């Protein structure tokens, strides 16, 4: 499944909601149902700096693509990060490098549903993922 197909799947989840608060609630539900990271992976190497909450991202290289795992201490951020990992996991480096946060938020209909502080944290998460592609953290 391509990045665009994964974005479309997530967009379909949020399209049923007209009210931004309902979308926010859906993000929290996604956060509740996330697997998250093991405690040993919640470390400084994986920490997302510039995020209002404690948040982490782990990038794992598998053959010619990457698996993205995320976690946070707040459900809304955990939900947002899970969306990011769902979209980017199983993607190649080239596919990940061309992704822009505003495009993701706009395509799934969340650009007006989350605060600028959360958007900045989401941006920092994507930046960390892109930076980690060359490190190939295992």
What CA–CA distances, in Å, run from 129 to 12, 13, 72, 123, 135? 25, 24, 15, 10, 10
**Active-site residues: which are they?**
51
Which tokens hold the place of 52?
A: 């209002």
Q: 1, 16, 3: which is closest to 129 by C-alpha?
A: 3
Bridge partners, residue 68, by sequence? 59
Phi-psi region of 55 (alpha: psi -120 to 50; beta: other; left: phi over 0): beta
């Amino acid at each position: 499944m391509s990045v665009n197909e994964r974005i479309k799947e997530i967009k379909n989840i949020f399209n049923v909601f007209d009210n931004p608060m309902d979308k926010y609630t859906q993000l929290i539900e996604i956060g509740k149902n996330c697997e998250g990271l093991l405690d040993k992976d919640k470390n400084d190497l994986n920490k997302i700096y510039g995020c209002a909450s404690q948040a982490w991202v782990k990038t794992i290289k598998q053959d010619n693509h990457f698996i993205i795992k995320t976690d946070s201490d707040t459900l809304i951020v955990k939900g947002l990060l899970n969306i990011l990992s769902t979209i980017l996991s199983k993607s190649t480096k080239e596919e990940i490098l061309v992704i822009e946060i505003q495009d993701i938020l706009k395509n799934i209909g969340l650009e007006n549903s989350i605060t600028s502080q959360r958007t900045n944290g989401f941006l920092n998460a994507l930046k960390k993922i892109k930076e980690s592609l060359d490190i190939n953290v295992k």
